Structure 1
Amino acid sequence: MLRDSRLSFTARGILVYLLSLPDGADIDVRKLADRHPRVGRRGVQSAVDELIAAGYYVRRTRRDDHGRLRTETFVTDTPQVRVAASDHQPGTGDPGTQAAGTLPSVDKNSGKNEDKTPPASPPREGGDEHLTQASRLLARLAAVDSRLRLSGKQVTALAPFAAEWLRRGATVAELTDALCQGLPTRVYSAARLVGDRLHRKLPDPRRQWQSYADCAGDCGRPLPANQDQGICAACAGLAPTPEPTPTPGSAADLTGAGAQLVASIRARRALTARA
């Protein structure tokens, strides 16, 4: 958080201050400017805009049981994935009491357990083994860290992203470490955090090495790439037997400069033995 190069030093300082406030604290731009006179109201508003753009400061508008619009706000030390705005517009009702141009009460817990997933389009699906394995892994994350408890709906939404890791060659252990290691002190939304890491840390595809089965006949040669078992064409009599690979011969097989070198070495050994 403090090393996020997207944030100015003013925005980082205000974020640290907001995180230190108790849940439900009543704070707005004017009050922040009063407590930080050197920054000023315009500077505070600009810093808050930075926090919103970076995902540290999140607003959500909803209608309460009395039909009034309420804006819930929470701040977090982990940037949250921004979700595209919904086309749904709140119904009619009495307007809320929030004054224009001010920040609503800051509640660092109002974003807990939100069922939001990354805006990126999911990778290809298709009832394969990777998708099944990814779903099981996500459902068991809470056993590794209770802060990463996901609902069944969240697991279904995130499984295609996790399956893409496995398709690219990542192991279950590597994927689990990427999701569970280095968690922030507080996790306000497990689905958001897991979705962000799946998208942001997606590895490049690993090179897949082709393996070949050995011929079950006497030759022991590797079978063609598309044949997993059985004998080769030569052992089946469908193709001529390949010429054996030449192997290094004995000294007697050497000619030319090689034969002269061997003869010289033998002569020196003979002289040494006589001496």
Structure 2
Amino acid sequence: MAVSQLKADDSPSAHPLANPGYGKRSAPEQLPRRESDFAHLPRREASIAAYIDRLPDGSDISVKMLAKVLPDYGQCAVRTSLRRLSEAGHLRLGRETVTDEATGSRRWVTRTFFSRTARDDAWWAAFQGQGQGSSGTTTATPARQPSRPQPQQRSRAYEILASVGRTKPQMSLSADDCVTLESLATDWLTRGATDAELRHALTAGLPAEVHRPAAIARTRLAKLPPERAPHPADLGAQGPAPTLRVLECTECRAPARPEALSGGLCRVCREEPPLPPRDGLPEADVRAHAAKIRAATATRRPEGTRV
């Protein structure tokens, strides 16, 4: 190992923890730890991966913290290594909801998901689509044969957007529209809006002719409802609300559908040409709007939790 003479008896318990709810989260259904787990990686990435693997969940594995506790590497080197670990299938960045058992309220937290078992893009796509209860027991299915892609699973928000056209044909949205609007619709659901309330917001009071349904949907979804905690009676009838999870680009943290994150990186960070604009705003405008949303969300996050 190249990480400043890390020894097998070095205790990872001394590594600082992130703020409660944030930090490292181990991916489910990993193979037992072996000496050769990271032998396929370059020496620096293998060393950092082995160190992260030994840390408990909740550890602060931000770039700044890793560069501080691993003095052989600066922040630029650590950032590059995390990108390469993402491309190799060991790491993904993202956000997911957590529920306060006392109040029933939910909030988004930033997480770094780590797997000592390398996963392909199809496995990470299935991981995003699978929820967990408030107890934190993940139900993702292992993918030990990366060559066999998992069936694609859509989020609750995506399914609602895709179904709007059944009741209001003039508001029919394309698959690309649903992907683009998914994060906005998810924000409605995490604030306590029901499926019916979300559909009503998208379809009520429409003009006689709708020429740009995606643009109308985007405008309406941007007007978020106030947050509200679920009623205890509703929790008893429906059970714990599932965790909502959104993966982000490892490099720029732009949220995206997992199939758009090849190796955990978006098209821009992979230096691929942008997709041609479709109905609605150009891709550059959409990314600018997403950046504003992330900036507003970051002001509510505790410091030191971003990678």
TM-score by length of 2: 0.27
Structure of larger gyration radius: 1
* Relative contact order, higher structure (CA 8 A, sep 6+): 2
TM-score by length of 1: 0.30
